[in-house]
Amino acid sequence: MDKPVIDLDTTVWEKQTGLMANFPRGITIYKSSEKVNSKNTNMYLLAFNPRLNIDLKPVVSTVAKTPTTFFNEENGEVYACVNGGFFSGTTSLSLVMYNSAVGSVNVKSLTRVYNGANTTYYPTRAAFGLDKDYKPSVSWVYSVGTGNGELYAYPQPSPNAEGQAPQIAPTASFPEEGALWTQTTAIGGSPMLIRDSIIHITDVEEMITTSATPTSSRPRTAIGHLKNGNVVLFVAEGGSTNIPGLTLQELAQQMLSLGCVGAVNLDGGGSSSLVVDGETTIKPSDAAGERKVISALIVKKR
């Protein structure tokens, strides 16, 4: 019962006790400014035990809001809020599910040019979820059927790639070994960063290369889980000459170094923001401050 929520190198990660005055047992926040490949950083992580009456609540809105607004408008005892998945305008492009109620699904089709013509692709994209017993997992998922359909998870992504002929739309049997996803609370993102304790970045298969800008240093947001079932939310500042941010590979390496056995990239760039106890942590890269987003993850008392 007295074990820390997450075991970290305390010479790298410093506990932010000033932000934890209202935290119960089982949730902790840390900060690091350790250089990554000679780059200055400003990184925060929030780790918590979802079995200790601490709720992870994915939310989606029809009106774009800053993570601070999501935080302030949430009822109950709220500890933190981080930006969620991808979006376009006021439409969420990523899965948002809370207590089995689906607010939005991962984008089901994309248009890309193939052989000189606009062509439809059906990518499986990454998602993080908790089951009814608050056990976390990550997988490539697709909502099979019309509307929200039935949510299937696959042990590998559909092997799509720009410039190649599209794969068929995912079904119960394609990709192989698909199964209904039994998670009851989930957030979608892209791409997968870590699965089964191995860095496995599938931006090509998930067809997110342009949006996620894998090799660019930029602000990043990610969610992952430890072997013990605890959840990790991570943000890295970026977008300035002094603090440029992380590449996807560097983000995955950071999550792996924290002990994550599974991790998913969430929306980054100007969308990246972590609000703790009503205060922002990283400096948003947009000159206007926090960007208004469509989905968010709220950590609060269950």
pLDDT of 5 above 60:
yes
Is residue 133 exposed (0-12), middle (13-18) or buried (19+ Cβ within 10 Å)? exposed
**CA-CA distance, 263 to 201, in Å (whole number)?**
10
Phi first, then psi: what are they for 175, rounded to 5°?
A: -55, 165
pLDDT band at 226 (very low <50, low <70, confident <90, very high): very high
Mean pLDDT within 176-200: 97
Handedness of CA 7, 13, 14, 17 (dihedral sign): negative
Q: Copy the structure tokens of residue 212.
A: 């996620």
Contacts of 244 (CB under 8 A, 6+ apart): 39, 40, 217, 218, 238
pLDDT of 1 above 80:
no
Mean pLDDT within 142-167: 96
**CA-CA distance, 35 to 205, in Å (whole number)?**
30
Handedness of CA 135, 12, 221, 178 (dihedral sign): negative
Specify the residue for token string 């490539």: 140
Phi first, then psi: what are they for 213, rounded to 5°?
A: 35, 70
Number of H helices, E strands in the chain: 4, 24
Q: What is the pTM of this model?
A: 0.97
Give per-residue pLDDT as tens, 65-99. 999 999 999 999 999 999 999 999 999 999 999 99
pLDDT at 2: 62
Mean pLDDT within 243-256: 98
pLDDT at 210: 77
**CA-CA distance, 281 to 273, in Å (whole number)?**
7
Mean pLDDT within 128-148: 96
With beta carbons less than 8 A apart as the criterion, state whether 236 and 43 touch.
Answer: yes
Mean pLDDT within 185-192: 98
Tell which residue, 14, 8, 29, 12, has the closest CA to residue 276: 29
**CA-CA distance, 18 to 34, in Å (whole number)?**
20
pLDDT at 3: 79
Give per-residue pLDDT as tens, 102-129. 999 999 999 999 999 999 999 999 999 9
Mean pLDDT within 229-255: 97
Mean pLDDT within 280-293: 96
**CA-CA distance, 251 to 274, in Å (whole number)?**
16
CA angle, residues 302, 295, 94, in degrees to nearest 5: 110
**CA-CA distance, 125 to 164, in Å (whole number)?**
18
* % of the chain beyond a pLDDT of 70: 99
pLDDT band at 212 (very low <50, low <70, confident <90, very high): confident
DSSP 36: B
With beta carbons less than 8 A apart as the criterion, state whether 187 and 263 touch.
Answer: no
pLDDT band at 147 (very low <50, low <70, confident <90, very high): confident
With beta carbons less than 8 A apart as the criterion, state whether 19 and 41 touch.
Answer: no
